Amino acid sequence: MVDKKPLISDVHEIYEMEDDVLNIIHKQIAASFLIFGLFYGMALAGGVEQGANHKVGMEYYEFAPAELTIQAGDTVTWLNNDNRDHDLAFYEVKPVNAPTDENPQDMRVDEKYSLVFNQAGVFKYLCTIHKRQDMKGLIIVK
């Protein structure tokens, strides 16, 4: 059998096919960036709704505010402003992915912890370290 070497026209066809494939890939990449940019722009402009942010301080064996009413989708951030360690645990009804009595969220001095509340309900929480001091709080999600 005789080896057939590609003719000049065959080489040009191969290069044209490679160019076509590269053009398709480039168009797909450009489209991906365009879609990402649209969603990112909508988020910045408020087109994709984001929940509000709320803060709860931990100081003097108290949560401040001790009771907070929010909307579903809002985020609550606890900040240990105290000069002692605390922790955070939900009991009775527990939000998804929230710390519990069995696995509390440790809160050392100046540490913070955030949780997004996506479900409506009444959620009780406490500092298990300072249970005796009645360090408790309540989040009401509408």
| 127-138: pLDDT as tens digits | 999 999 999 999
Name the pTM for this structure: 0.65
Going from N- to C-terminal start, the domains of the chain cover: 1-49, 53-141
Tokens linked to 3: 């080896």
Mean pLDDT of the chain: 83
For every residue of 102-127, DSSP letters joined together read SS-EEE-TT-EEEEEE-S-EEEEEE-
More confident residue, 89 or 30: 89
Asked if pLDDT for residue 30 goes beyond 60, the answer is no
CATH 3.40.50.720 assigned to domain 53-141? The reply is: no
The vertex-62 CA angle with 135 and 115, nearest 5°, equals 85
